[in-house]
Amino acid sequence: MKNTKKADIHIRVTAVEKRKLEKAATKKKMTLSEYILKSLSDSNDRLNYMELLPAYTEIADRLNEICHVAQNDPDCDLRKRILEIVEREKKCTN
């Protein structure tokens, strides 16, 4: 089995920087998370990132959906909504 590197990456950017990144990602027809991952990877690691990119973007999309629900409906039962999203994704992948 091949050795893999594991790292948690936390990026802090201002709203202006985020908009610039989103604009650049949109120009390249990518999501923000795809654009950031592509930008971070160097040529040696590009294949590893590209293989995992769909998984990263799926996770990011689900987290964004959960955050959107939490922000727009603060009175809802967040645990219940998270479970609904997870169950829906299970059905889609099976």
Burial (CB < 10 A; 0-12, 13-18, 19+), residue 45, is exposed
- Residue 57 in this model has a pLDDT that exceeds 70: yes
pLDDT at 81: 77
Tokens of 32: 């923000």
Which candidate, 57, 71, 70, places its Cα nearest to that of 25? 57
Which 8-state DSSP code applies to residue 10? -
Model pLDDT for residues 4-38, shown as the tens digit of each residue = 444 445 556 567 777 787 888 889 888 877 777 77
pLDDT at 88: 79
Q: Any idea where the domains of the chain sit in the sequence?
A: 15-93
Counted residue by residue, the chain has a size of 94
Phi, psi of 43 (to 5 degrees): -60, -30
Model pLDDT for residues 62-73, shown as the tens digit of each residue = 778 877 777 777
Residue 35 contacts by C-beta under 8 Å, 6 or more apart in sequence?
21, 24, 25, 28
